[in-house]
């Protein structure tokens, strides 16, 4: 077979990584028809289809999945080299850190605090959705991403590296000095609740706990953002369920207090990376300092 056209291969890799032809065309600043033609030329060169259509979706064939893995190695290494050359200063390190949009700000602050004492390090923080975090890592726009859920290795055909960096207990939190004297659920019959959204793991933990106690919460509001949960817990006078680290300052100021920890309930925090030829030493040191036993 004649030598591969790496320009065509790059276009295939971007479409396979994004999973949508139209979005890939927009990001690559080419027309959808031109992008489709480039991929068709690559398929003709290989002699096998790389995508097949399922309704309006493009799905990788078995050959396409293998080609994507090779393309991932080729172009991620090239983009890593490009970012290194752009930095230009081997005595200074700049980290691009992505954080999932609803993540606890107190956890984020605790994670990055060690960077403040190093004069050779600067960093940028970007709040993004999980999908945008994955794209940022794949495109080498981010060095690391912080989330409260691990990523399976089969997502986008990428070998994700998930490191558990923190684990926080989940508890019932309420106004200071108003904790019921009885054990849950006694004394909670007339309480109203601010709860995490139904798509969040903490919510399912709380509902499982309530089921074992035969308790039905009177829900005033559902919130899928921890920063907003913190404000509502502080100002509403209602009960909430969250890791106490989210309201650490309010607990220290005696505006809120922990009423009860949920048994065997934890929120896990992960640092997500991709395999690289070179990982900045400061990032390795940061991860080692956060590693759980």
Condensed to tens digits (0 to 9), the pLDDT of residues 207-225 reads 999 999 999 999 999 998 8
| Cα dihedral 196→201→205→207 (10° resolution) | 50
Q: For the domain covering 87-166+269-290, report its CATH number.
A: 3.40.190.10
Q: For the domain covering 168-265, report its CATH number.
A: 3.40.190.10
Domain with CATH 1.10.10.10 in the chain: 6-78
116 CB burial (10 A radius; 0-12, 13-18, 19+): exposed
* pLDDT tens figures, 140-161: 889 999 998 898 877 777 789 9
Domain with CATH 3.40.190.10 in the chain: 87-166+269-290, 168-265
* Architecture category of domain 6-78 in CATH: Orthogonal Bundle (1.10)
Lowest mean pLDDT segment, chosen from 46-60, 83-97, 174-188: 83-97
Say which residues have a Cβ less than 8 Å from residue 203's Cβ, sequence separation at least 6. Answer: 195, 196, 197, 222, 241
* pLDDT tens figures, 224-244: 888 899 999 999 999 999 999
Cα 287 to Cα 240: distance, rounded to the nearest angstrom: 31
Residue count of the chain, please give it.
293
Q: Is the pLDDT of residue 178 over 60?
A: yes
Looking at the whole model, is its pTM more than 0.75? no
């Amino acid at each position: 077979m004649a030598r591969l056209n790496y320009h065509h291969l790059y276009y295939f890799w971007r479409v396979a990584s994004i999973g949508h032809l139209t979005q890939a065309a927009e990001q690559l600043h080419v027309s959808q028809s031109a992008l489709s033609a480039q991929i068709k030329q690559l398929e003709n060169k290989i002699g096998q289809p790389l995508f097949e259509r399922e309704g309006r979706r493009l799905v990788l064939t078995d050959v396409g999945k293998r080609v994507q893995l090779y393309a991932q190695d080729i172009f991620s290494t090239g983009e890593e080299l490009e970012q290194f050359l752009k930095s230009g200063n081997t005595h200074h390190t700049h980290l691009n850190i992505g954080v999932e949009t609803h993540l606890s700000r107190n956890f984020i602050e605790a994670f990055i605090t060690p960077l403040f004492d190093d004069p050779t390090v600067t960093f940028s923080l970007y709040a993004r959705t999980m999908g945008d975090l994955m794209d940022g890592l794949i495109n080498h726009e981010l060095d690391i991403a912080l989330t409260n859920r691990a990523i399976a290795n089969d997502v986008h055909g990428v070998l994700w590296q998930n490191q558990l960096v923190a684990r926080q207990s989940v508890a019932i939190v309420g106004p200071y000095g108003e904790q019921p004297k009885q054990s849950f659920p006694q004394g909670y019959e007339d309480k109203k609740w601010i709860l995490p959204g139904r798509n969040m793991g903490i919510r399912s933990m709380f509902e499982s706990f309530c089921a074992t106690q035969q308790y039905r919460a009177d829900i005033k509001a559902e919130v899928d953002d921890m920063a907003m949960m913190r404000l509502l817990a502080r100002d509403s006078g209602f009960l909430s369920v969250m890791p106490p680290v989210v309201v650490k300052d309010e607990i220290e100021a005696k505006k809120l207090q922990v009423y009860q920890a949920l048994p065997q309930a934890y929120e896990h925090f992960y640092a997500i990376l991709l395999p690289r030829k070179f990982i900045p030493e400061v990032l390795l040191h940061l991860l080692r300092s956060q590693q759980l036993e």
